[in-house]
């Protein structure tokens, strides 16, 4: 029996939420380990749509423990709002089924303000962030001036932390033309929200290790995707955390040995939201068609996602950096009806063929895709629940992807619905 880590293997929005929801039936604990409410994970259960940003996708299943680990940056006002929204949709959330790490860093209103001010003030430095303060909050974490969940319990500590933050932030704000922080108002806001967050605050590392010893099954839910990773992504057009599988251990306080199966979530084509290089991007009718059929609009910001062909070079690379054991291939149905399909199998950089994406930004921008063409299929794969339901050309497409990325398919998804999923290998039993 293995614990399972689910990670995005492209630029996010691969369908992690749907797969985590499906797998969570087999799990006891579902834990987020990085990112924050920049994530947007969609679950569709018997036609009912749930959109989660901060809460683990396991929260909709009764009897499961959902965990927000120390690697997450937590906006307490958003947390309370998301809990209220889900309760309104009939989901039960109490300190018995939701636990938040005491050492998780808080996102404050000033982080969102800074994020948005930077994005709008400086066209040169624009990243196309979600504007939710993720980057500035992580900056304060490594800058050793952040406020953490546990600090909410003590007024004197809170005041000290706010003073420390103000020294740094007021200087930045002056430069950007934003008024200084209102110390008393911020402290009052924090005092007001504290009793709504503190009941969930626990030593997550301890509970996780106890769960592990007791043989409970843990499912780690990654956010974003490996190409948005702060180290291995298309820097600087990335998010501000490590999102690859290794982060599951440091982001919850459990040793790396607790990670068994790494499930990479892979969309059958490629999308990206925000700025940055995207070699296999399509700016033509095929790209439009992928966007329309795949309903490629951001869950968090509503922005139109950029679309392109499947890029096997990138996924082979991200399977390596996360140590992916098997992939869940999603949205195969979106490709129904294309006469021919293309897969990017290499890049041309100034006349030289590359089998990986180079690190240097100027080289990334100059990489042009080398494509292989495959036959499409006219039949519908939407809602298929077994291999036997798939047309031959679709099976060939999937097999070719496995060969090119050097990683097997463990799950296949053919619609947004929970049960429209084909199981090849059970990650918990592998």
Tell me, residue by residue from 19 to 58, as one string, x for binding to Mg ion by CB under 5 A and - for no binding.
---------------------x------------------
Q: Tell me if 16 sits within 8 A of 221, measured CB to CB.
A: yes
Least distance to ligand IMO, CB of residue 213, Å = 30
Taking the C-alpha atoms of residue 114 and residue 107, their distance in angstroms, rounded to an integer, is 11
Tell me, residue by residue from 91 to 130, as one string, x for binding to ligand IMO by CB under 6 A and - for no binding.
------------------------------------xxxx
Token representation of residue 342: 């293309």
Segment 285 to 304, residues that bind Mg ion, using CB under 5 A? 299
Sign of torsion, CA 335 405 321 103? positive
> Does 415 help bind ligand GDP (rule: CB under 6 A)?
yes
Of 22, 31, 35, 41, the one binding ligand GDP (CB under 6 A) is 41
For residue 304, what are the CA distances in angstroms to 265, 275, 410?
21, 12, 29
Token representation of residue 268: 């059958």
Least distance to ligand IMO, CB of residue 290, Å = 16
Q: Among residues 273 and 329, whose Cβ is nearest to ligand IMO? A: 273
Q: Among residues 71 and 369, whose Cβ is nearest to ligand GDP? A: 71
Segment 206 to 235, residues that bind ligand IMO, using CB under 6 A? 223-225, 228
What order do you get walking across the sheet with 4-8 strand by strand?
A: 201-202, 98-101, 65-68, 29-32, 218-221, 4-8, 261-267, 326-330, 409-413, 421-423
Q: Is 58 annotated as a binding residue?
A: no
Segment 240 to 259, residues that bind ligand IMO, using CB under 6 A? 240
Least distance to ligand GDP, CB of residue 62, Å = 21
Q: Among residues 225 and 294, whose Cβ is nearest to ligand IMO? A: 225
Which listed option, Mg ion, ligand IMO, ligand GDP, none, makes contact with residue 290 (CB within 5 to 8 Å by class)? none
Question: Of 14, 5, 35, nearest to 240 (Cα)?
Answer: 35
Element (H, E) at 130: none
Taking the C-alpha atoms of residue 108 and residue 125, their distance in angstroms, rounded to an integer, is 22
Beta bridge partners of 44: 49, 417
Tell me, residue by residue from 323 to 362, as one string, x for binding to ligand GDP by CB under 6 A and - for no binding.
-------xx-xx----------------------------
Q: Is 415 annotated as a binding residue?
A: yes
Beta carbons within 10 angstroms of residue 290's beta carbon: 25
> Is 13 known to be catalytic?
yes
DSSP code per residue over 206-268: HHHHHHHHTT--EEEE--S-GGG-TTTSSTTSS-SS--STTHHHHTTT--GGG--EEEEEEES
**CA 346, 411, 30 angle in degrees (round to 5)?**
110
Q: Tell me if 42 sits within 8 A of 81, measured CB to CB.
A: no
> Is 170 known to be catalytic?
no
Q: Among residues 2 and 127, whose Cβ is nearest to ligand IMO? A: 127
Which listed option, ligand GDP, ligand IMO, Mg ion, none, makes contact with residue 416 (CB within 5 to 8 Å by class)? ligand GDP
Q: Which residues bind ligand GDP (CB under 6 A)?
A: 8, 12-18, 40-42, 44, 295, 299, 330-331, 333-334, 413-416
Q: Which residues bind Mg ion (CB under 5 A)?
A: 13, 40, 299
Q: Please give the annotated binding residues for GTP, written as ranges.
A: 12-18, 40-42, 305, 331-333, 413-415
Annotated catalytic residues are: 13, 41
Q: Please give the annotated binding residues, written as ranges.
A: 12-18, 38-42, 130, 144, 224, 239, 299-305, 331-333, 413-415
């Amino acid at each position: 029996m293995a614990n399972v880590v689910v990670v995005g293997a492209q630029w996010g929005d691969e369908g992690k939420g749907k797969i985590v929801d499906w797998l969570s039936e087999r799990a006891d604990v579902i834990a987020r380990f990085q990112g924050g409410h920049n994530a947007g994970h969609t679950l569709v259960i018997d036609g009912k749509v749930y959109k989660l940003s901060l809460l683990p996708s396991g929260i909709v299943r009764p009897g499961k423990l959902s965990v927000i680990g120390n690697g997450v940056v937590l906006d307490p006002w958003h947390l309370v709002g998301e809990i209220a929204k889900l309760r309104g949709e009939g989901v039960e959330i109490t300190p018995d089924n939701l636990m938040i790490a005491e050492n998780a860093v808080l996102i404050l209103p000033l982080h969102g303000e800074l994020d948005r001010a930077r994005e709008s003030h400086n066209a040169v430095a624009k990243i196309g962030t979600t504007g939710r303060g993720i980057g500035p909050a992580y900056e304060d974490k490594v800058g050793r001036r952040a406020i953490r969940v546990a600090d909410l319990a003590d007024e004197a500590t809170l005041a000290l932390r706010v003073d420390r933050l103000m020294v740094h932030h007021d200087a930045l704000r002056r430069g950007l033309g934003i008024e200084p922080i209102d110390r008393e108002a911020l402290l009052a806001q924090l005092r007001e929200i504290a009793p709504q967050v503190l009941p969930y605050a626990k030593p997550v590392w301890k509970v996780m290790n106890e769960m592990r010893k007791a043989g409970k099954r843990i499912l780690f839910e990654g956010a974003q995707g490996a190409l948005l990773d702060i180290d291995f992504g298309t820097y600087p057009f990335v998010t501000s955390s490590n999102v690859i599988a290794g982060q599951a251990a440091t982001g919850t306080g459990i040793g790396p040995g607790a990670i068994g199966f790494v499930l990479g979530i892979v969309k059958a084509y490629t999308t990206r939201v925000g700025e940055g290089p995207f070699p296999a991007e399509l700016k033509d009718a095929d790209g439009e068609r992928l966007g329309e059929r795949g309903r490629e609009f951001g869950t968090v910001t509503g922005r139109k996602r950029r679309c392109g062909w499947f890029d096997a070079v990138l996924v082979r690379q991200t399977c390596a950096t996360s140590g992916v054991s098997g992939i869940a291939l999603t949205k195969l149905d979106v490709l129904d009806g294309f006469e021919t399909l293309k897969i990017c199998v290499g890049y041309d950089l100034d006349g030289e063929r590359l089998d990986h994406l180079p690190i240097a930004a100027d080289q990334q921008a100059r990489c042009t895709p080398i494509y292989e063409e495959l036959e499409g299929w006219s039949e519908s794969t939407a809602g298929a629940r077994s291999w036997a339901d798939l047309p031959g050309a679709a099976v060939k497409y999937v097999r070719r992807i496995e060969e090119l990325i050097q990683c097997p398919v463990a799950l296949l998804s053919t619609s947004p619905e929970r049960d429209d999923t084909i199981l090849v290998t059970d990650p918990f039993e592998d």
